[in-house]
Amino acid sequence: MGYPGQYLQFIEKFNEGEYYECHDLLEDIWMEDKTDKFLQGLLQLSVGLYHQEYGNIKGARWMFGNARKYLTRYEPVHWGLDVSGVLQYIEACEKSLPETDVISYAEAKAMSFPSLRLHVNTS
């Protein structure tokens, strides 16, 4: 299956930890079809990671919850992506968040946080 170039760029930028750029890449194709909850879920995940990076724990928690809700219907695989693995990652991220709503940038950078490398099966 041929995937949109922005989707493949999203995967690349996600793996590089460029979460703000991830959002920009997917938003363009999601705006063409706002009913696409798969893309919306990936958008929410990248926004959640961006919030976590900058200490907005409340925002990260909210975005991770939304991402989980949107992506669940696409298990186990959608658009060549292991959605089940992404959902496990989101759960691990949620468990890693502190109980507070906000932490400093330095605290956020020092956090031990799960990592995920996305891979799209193009065959």
In a domain, 123, yes or no: no
Length of the chain: 123
In a domain, 119, yes or no: no
pLDDT value for 93 = 98
In a domain, 13, yes or no: yes
Q: Which domain holds residue 25?
A: 5-110
Average pLDDT over residues 89-96: 98
| CATH number (domain holding residue 105) | 1.10.3450.10
C-alpha 47 chain-centroid distance = 7
Sign of CA dihedral 68, 45, 86, 93: negative
In a domain, 122, yes or no: no
pTM above 0.85? yes
In a domain, 25, yes or no: yes
Cα–Cα distance between 68 and 66 in angstroms, integer?
5
pLDDT tens-digit readout, 82-92: 999 999 999 99
In a domain, 30, yes or no: yes
pLDDT value for 58 = 98
In a domain, 106, yes or no: yes
pLDDT tens-digit readout, 43-76: 999 999 999 999 999 999 999 999 999 999 999 9
Helix axes 37-53, 83-96, angle to 10 degrees: 30
